[in-house]
Amino acid sequence: MRREASKIHVRGLALECALGRELPSAVDALERGEVRTTRLTIDALEPAVEMPFYRVGDGAELGDPRRYLEMPLRVAREALRSAGLSRAELERTALFIGTSSFAAGERDLASFGPGSRRQLGFDPLASELCAELGLVDDAMLFNTACTASAVALVQALRMLRLGQARNVLVLGIEICNRTTPAGFAGLQLVSEALRPFDRRRSGIVLGEGVGGVLLSLEPGPFALELRGGATVLDHFSVTTANPDGSSIELVQRAALADAGVEPREIRAIKAHGTSSPMNDVGEAAGILRLFGAPPPVCGLKSYVGHTLGACGALELALFGAALLRGFVPKTALFGEPDPELGLRPTECNVPAPEGDYLLNYFGFGGNNTSLVLTRSGPWRS
């Protein structure tokens, strides 16, 4: 049975990612199946390492410290604008930020606002965003590896249900820094192509981006609701989910129970789909354990890269906008099924009817999160 609690509406959406710097153009590119990568050179390693990278086409230098405020600020403003909040509502809107690395390794001072010079970091970022946006300077920060902004969405959902807020802006932020790519390259986890669930998959390709999701007790232009969500810890390994799928089944089942939705009601699944050999094994096994014959399963990371802590909000914004356009996207770069997985993701865009959708996010340290998103109509903006 469905939960009878207050509906939590997705009232505002915005993003900047490799597909585009505005939501409509990014969804256009997604619908066409475009993949846009550049090359990134890591000079800090000896010898230097070059790798593919999904970057935001803002025209700025990747090392420009101003990007760490300007990009989140643009996305936050657009999310709030799309939601149509009044000034009084803005003053009662909470800010949640989820990130994995943010400005790790960046020691330069950034100019955050007129006349201010502050060290790069989570707290200065939150304070400057609240000041610029007219929000109460009492942000909550989440740092749970790749699930950071997905966990922020779960906590925002709970806060709204409890009546502790009427609006929560969730930002997922991951902007290229000098440390994160070097770390993943050192761990030999980086591949030349991100191929979710493909037999040839061999690792991740990093990406940068910012996603903004405004959750509210009031409806807005987007016919979407965040129906439910759950976070469950998996102690199998520091870096991978249990390959038998038991932990993935558990978090998906918990999210469905929180939403009051049965597995048979799920129309499609947005997979975490990192393209790493073992993570795709655990996710495929978990989906099959719960669903048996699953609905369509798609991966978005071959379009935007693995945006780490940003992927919760960013992929919800992108996937939600695609649903409102009426399609579940194909899984780009997938071409060869892996018989060991028993799971074949979407190979073309498929229709997205009204109903319930499952979104998966899994992170280092065993922090696994699933969300249930409901589409109840078309894009009304």
Which active-site residues does the annotation give? Answer: 146, 272, 306
Contact of 261 with 298, CB cutoff 8 Å: no
Contact of 196 with 273, CB cutoff 8 Å: yes
Distance, CA of 181 to CA of 84 (rounded, Å): 37
Q: How many residues does the chain have?
A: 381
Distance, CA of 331 to CA of 347 (rounded, Å): 6
The pair of structure tokens assigned to 5 is: 């609690």
Distance, CA of 9 to CA of 219 (rounded, Å): 5
Nearest-5° Cα angle at 193, 190 to 195: 105
Contact of 307 with 16, CB cutoff 8 Å: no
Q: Which amino acid is at 309?
A: G
Distance, CA of 222 to CA of 318 (rounded, Å): 13
